[in-house]
Amino acid sequence: MTRVFQSIPEWMDFKSSLLGKTLGFVPTMGALHDGHLSLMQRSQQENDFTAVSIFVNPTQFNDPSDLTHYPRTPREDLALIESMGVSFLISPEITDLYADQYRYQVSEKVESQVLCGAHRPGHFDGVLTVVLKLLNLTQATRAYFGEKDFQQLRLIQGMAEAFFIPTQIIPCPTLREADGLAMSSRNRRLTPEHRQKAALFPKVLKNSASPQEAIDELKNQGFEVDYIEERFGRRLGAVRLGAVRLIDNV
């Protein structure tokens, strides 16, 4: 049975009883899919206990309509977490997690300014700030992040190093649907036609001779392209189909 904590003081009180045990942490914004489940599974293999958080973090949405439409499936999420045998679910209220009203923020000045950061101003400040809060709250032994959000992962690794955060940051490989589309909570917002087309994105990203060739091909196929760039030894991209933004890297 998963124990659910909505109150931060209640979690903090309880956390002290886990002294001497290892805790794995999987932060999420809910709308859970198999990619999240693979992070939970890894955490359970490597730790005595696993805590999952569900918090749709408003400060990382630069577009209010994206925040409004972000999929929320709390009942299904809890059932999945229970079925995975996860010990703890932390789902704090916005007002409790941001009691400071976001007066205090973490910002990174270099890598957060490119790729998704260039297209979503303030996004990574919101991500880093909430992840720091959650890592401090959980004081986990290990925390698990998917490589689909590669820029996010690098920035979180960098923050953990910069601030001497004792939690080990564990990168986990991207899980893909049968047609190659990277699993994402946003996929469920695609229309059936766009869902079919979306499978071209990882294929073109992988098979094009150059970023420009990938951009041209994706535009030809009806995608709007935010960027396709090569950095950090990878080719990374962000595209839009209708109102849905997809990211991936190969």
Q: Which of 36, 69, 123, 194 is catalytic?
A: 36
Judged by CB under 6 A, does residue 182 bind ligand PAF? no
Of the two residues 60 and 141, which places its CB atom closer to ligand PAF in the complex?
60
Among 27-35, 87-95, 102-110, 220-228, the segment contacting ligand PAF (CB under 6 A): 27-35
Q: How far is the CB of 142 from ligand PAF (least distance, A)?
A: 15
Determine the interface stretch with ligand PAF among 26-34, 136-144, 193-201, 216-224 (rule: CB under 6 A): 26-34
What is the 3 state secondary structure string of the chain? Answer: CCEEECCHHHHHHHHHHHCCCCEEEEEECCCCCHHHHHHHHHHHHHCCEEEEEECCCHHHCCCHHHHHHCCCCHHHHHHHHHHCCCCEEECCCHHHHCCCCCCCCCCCCCHHHCCHHHHCCCHHHHHHHHHHHHHHHHCCCEEEEECCCHHHHHHHHHHHHHCCCCCEEEEECCCECCCCCECCHHHHHCCHHHHHHHCHHHHHHHHCCCHHHHHHHHHHCCCEEEEEEEECCEEEEEEEECCEEEEEEC
Question: Binding to ligand PAF by residue 27, rule CB under 6 A?
Answer: yes
- Identify residues 30-69 at the interface with ligand PAF (CB under 6 A): 57, 60
Q: How far is the CB of 217 from ligand PAF (least distance, A)?
A: 28
Name which position in 39, 80, 89, 130 contacts ligand PAF (CB under 6 A): 130
Q: CB under 6 A: which stretch of 13-21, 25-33, 171-179, 195-203 binds ligand PAF?
A: 25-33
Q: Which is closer to ligand PAF, CB of 27 or CB of 202?
A: 27
Q: Which residues are catalytic?
A: 36
Residues in touch with ligand PAF (CB under 6 A)? 27-29, 57, 60, 127, 130-131, 149, 152
